[in-house]
Chain A
Amino acid sequence: MRKVLEKALALAKKRADQAEAIAYNGEVTPVEFKSGKLHAVEHKEVRGLGLRVIRKGRIGFSSTTDLARLGELVDHACQSAAFGQPARFQFPAKCRPAATKIFDRAVAGFSVDQAMAEGRQALERLRAAAPELKCDATIEKRTYSVELANSRGLWSSYDKTHFSYQLSGVGVVDGHLLFVGDGRRGCGLKLEAEAMAGKMARLLKQAKRSARTSGGRVPVIFSHEAMYLFWMALGMGVNGKMLQKRSSPLQGRLGERVLDPRLSVSDDPQLRLAPGSAPHDAEGVCTARLPLFRNGVFRSFIFDLQTAGIMGTATTGHGQRDFSVQPSPGISNLVIAPGRRPLAEMVGSLDRGIIIHDLLGAGQSNLLAGDFSANIGLGFVIEKGRIAGRVKDAMVAGNVYQMLKGNVGEISKETESRGHYHTPAILFNDVSVAAK
């Protein structure tokens, strides 16, 4: 791909002042089981080129997957520059890539046959542990290379692996449909079917009893997998683009204590084998771990080159994209510091409460403002420190910022990796729950 990049840049330089090209070249191999049986094996090639130019001071962009038509790509990018934003940055001339571990040989070498054998074993395990459920499994391996070059001389490339292992089961339990699942996602090979199946079996067992909740304001534990809602909202709030658009609720609050003092949140693009890690961002800017909230105090927004330029500050190295879009600020891996109390103790400490494992429809609320309202897809009533039974037909609502500031009871000692979020579970003292 280096030759293609160089050719695209050479063509672009004839018509633009500066240019930057980014190429993705990779392969995705999902192996999919449905209802306990092997369902599909796929091979997908994903290859494409994105070209950003600065022409007469304005930014233009286009992308293609057709590498034979670079002339057309340059045309489109230059046409786009007639209307583009005035560039408030220069492409970086150099890049010193960090030595981040994002490529796992074990993933690259993991064959379709191995994936098939692994999936079969996991499903057998589930059949034994949770015979009531129809189970699906997807094991997906992705290997790709990213190459980045610009007209100021920067050239960098890296290889990355992705491995995703998802198990899920569905069944009718106690007259209601039940969905349970667990998964692992990252750059490394994680074959933890035993732990995942064990967890699903435990949730199934707990769901066999139902318990009533009268609703109202109750203590609620958001388990690791349900915490994403909070981090999604904070991720939007710290986004420099939202600041630029003056729609972030964190605007003007740098240095202010906006979260509970026990909460520290950083973005870490160097986290070993984490899905959001990279040696540099998609514009060639290198970064290290960036504290966003320290002991509850808001410390930093995240920026890419252009957004930082507009806001009169420096990029934090959070330019993210694939080849088909222009960069914009994005979280890499959000790391939330753990608390002191084991999750089991948090459950044990509640006389009455709810623990939520899965939320349904949470993304539809006005999350930018922090507001959410979601159906409890999978949750349990806690009575006298024990799981009493499954919550049905109930909704939970609140505001992420208010809850993380004044409503935190306990933060769990255990953290888990859930995609781009490395999070503890959190108990909130006083949460609005509506029940039928």
Chain B
Amino acid sequence: MEHHIKKALSSCGVDYLEVRIEERSTTSVVYQGRELEQAGTSTSRGGNVRALHRGGWGFASFNTIDQLPEKAAEAERAARLVGRGRSRLAKVKPSRATIRVKLADDPRRAPLKEKEALARRYNQQILGRPGIQSSRVRYEDVFKRQTYANTEGAEIVEERLYCGMGFSAIAKDGANVQTAHDSFGGGAIGFKKLAKLEPLVEQVTGDALDLLKAEKVEAGRYTVVVDPKMSGVFAHEAFGHLSESDHIHENAKLRRMMRLGRRFGPDHLSIVDDATIAGERGSYHYDEEGVPAGRNYLIKNGVLVGRLHSRETAGLMGERPTGSARAISHQYKPIVRMGCTYIEPGKCSFRRMVGEIDRGIYVVSALGGMTELEMFTFSAMKAYRIDRGKIGPMVRDVILSGNVFQTLRNIDAVGDDLELYGGLGGCGKDGQMPLPVSDGGPHIRIRNVIIGGR
């Protein structure tokens, strides 16, 4: 393999060329209802060549490593077709590194039998509660070894391991069907850490049953307190994606909107993307351009101070590369992505935050989020009414929607707690899904949030 890579790099006739080879092994166990849907291991192996010439990119991916020379030629040809200007990659010092996963309690060493037993046990826990209709329990570990080299001399081998479990409980009463989810996981966590998730499973099951009895929320404008999970979804979905420079550098209007130094929120608001936190699902050592991962402030004390870059967007915009070019697999080229994005904690206690609200909604956990530039829509997994400073009955079908800039300005309290979540999910962008990321934050309070309902 090394021989093929060296040859492709040395015979290249374009401005820049890189090769990435990936080996991957995924073990998963899935229970859905009473049935085991999947238990086993699948593997993949493949690679890609990306070439840059006169500002144009060419890309070719393959499954057979022997084909590397032909694919390199194909990528070069494509780059020449596209290139009409000047290649502008921000300069980085070429890295040479080998990063191996070293874990005392490596999940890859646990036999499939134990993984199946673990999933079965939690699945029985969910199905054992009266009123529960169905369930979904997923165990997954993914091991990936990536070999990277480019014409500037970078040579990196990085191993990554992701492991976790996801739980869904589906409760049903007549035509009323309610689902609750949660997951636990991260990068390189030990197998034994998954052995004591009963409280989490109990919570998910209870939530699904409680949602059956919850009333639909009344549509309207509310003061909202969001929990750390929803706060993370907000940091990632509503704001984080706008900080991805591939969109910014292409669009002059967005560039003006995202002008560094502009005030976006109150003094007590800071948002950071940090891909260097050990054990987080969104962490890595080097991105898919061989640039070291970083800790990058996006908003500091309410002011926009930074954004996420690939080498190209950094070069085009004259800014510092941030190590944010990521790809979900060898079939995709790296694009600007987040790692672990969170709102930094402030000083307000949860009790005070809620206590000051006359009529509001407390949103707990997110089912998902979607954005279209400045507009966002997030659905809560569950929520509670807040009446006269006290948390009241559970409500369901709470979907928050709004304009991110207005919403950031409307954050009037930032909690003194912080939680990060990686779970088992991932982020989607430009057809690349799921990319392992983490997000989180403290509890935050937002004024004037529009909530859809009936």
Residues of A within 8 A of B (CB): 34-35, 37-48, 60-67, 69, 72-73, 76-77, 79-80, 82-85, 112, 116, 134, 170-172, 177, 179, 215, 244-247, 249, 310, 324-326, 360-361, 363-366, 368-369, 371, 373-375, 377, 393, 395-398, 432, 434, 436
Contacts and interface: CB of A to CB of B under 8 A. Distances in A.
Contacts of A112: 78, 81
A320 to B, nearest CB: 15
A377 B373 CA distance: 11
B40 interface: yes
12 contacts: A40-B58, A60-B40, A61-B40, A66-B63, A76-B43, A177-B373, A245-B33, A246-B133, A247-B172, A326-B38, A361-B368, A364-B377
A374 B377 CA distance: 7
Contact of A245 (B57, B134, B176): B134
Interface string B440-454: 000000000011111
B399 A360 contact: no
A64 B176 contact: no
A361 B378 contact: yes
B330 to A, nearest CB: 9
A45 B57 CA distance: 17
B453 A40 contact: no
A368 B44 CA distance: 33
Contact of A34 (B45, B219, B250, B403): B250
A79 B82 CA distance: 47
Q: Which of A40, A360, A365 has the most CB of B within 10 A?
A: A40
For the side of the interface on B, what is the size category? 35 or more
Contacts of A46: 63, 331
Given A42-B59, A43-B59, A247-B170, A79 B112 contact: yes
B452 A62 contact: no
> Which 4 A-B residue pairings sit nearest by Cβ, starting from the closest?
A361-B377, A80-B40, A395-B452, A361-B370
Nearest to A132: B253
Given A177-B372, A360-B370, A171 B453 contact: no
Contact of A84 (B39, B61, B79, B178): B39
Nearest to B331: A44
Nearest to B171: A247
Given A245-B33, A434-B219, A373 B453 contact: yes
Given A35-B251, A247-B177, A397 B42 contact: no
B368 A363 contact: yes
B375 interface: yes
B249 to A, nearest CB: 9
B313 interface: no
Contacts of A63: 42-44
Q: Which of A69, A76, A310 has the most CB of B within 10 A?
A: A76
Contacts of A375: 375-377, 401, 452
Contact of A395 (B74, B179, B369, B450): B450
Contact of A364 (B75, B177, B367, B451): B367
A282 B259 CA distance: 51
Given A66-B63, A245-B134, A42 B43 contact: no
B375 A395 contact: no
Contacts of A360: 370-372, 375, 377, 401
A397 B219 contact: yes
B116 interface: yes
Given A245-B134, A361-B377, A373 B397 contact: yes
B387 interface: no
Contacts of A66: 43-45, 63
B309 interface: no
Contacts of B62: 45
Given A66-B44, A369-B176, A177 B375 contact: yes
Contact of A246 (B61, B79, B172, B370): B172
Contacts of B133: 245-247
B311 to A, nearest CB: 15
Nearest to A58: B36
A251 to B, nearest CB: 10
Contacts of B454: 397-398, 432
B175 interface: yes
A80 B58 contact: no
B134 A62 contact: no
Nearest to B218: A434
Contact of B375 (A35, A76, A377): A377
Given A63-B42, A371-B397, A364 B368 contact: yes
A134 B177 contact: no
Nearest to A33: B82
B367 to A, nearest CB: 5
Q: Which of A44, A245, A436 has the most CB of B within 10 A?
A: A44
B257 to A, nearest CB: 9
B103 to A, nearest CB: 22
A365 B379 contact: yes
B31 to A, nearest CB: 10
Contacts of A69: 43
A61 B373 contact: no
A395 B399 contact: yes
Contacts of A310: 35
Contacts of B46: 45, 65
Contact of A40 (B43, B44, B57, B397): B57
Nearest to A361: B377
Interface string B49-88: 0000000111111111001000100110011011010000
Contact of B251 (A73, A170, A365, A374): A170
Contact of B35 (A41, A44, A85, A325): A85
A360 B56 CA distance: 33
A43 B177 contact: no
A436 B450 contact: yes
Contact of A366 (B374, B397, B402): B397
B32 interface: yes
Given A360-B371, A364-B379, A366-B178, 20 more contacts: A45-B62, A45-B67, A47-B64, A48-B63, A65-B43, A66-B45, A76-B43, A79-B112, A83-B36, A170-B373, A245-B133, A247-B172, A325-B38, A363-B370, A364-B378, A366-B177, A366-B179, A393-B450, A395-B452, A434-B451
B370 A41 contact: no
B33 A41 contact: no
Contacts of A365: 379, 397, 399
Given A361-B369, A373-B452, A375-B401, A83 B112 contact: yes
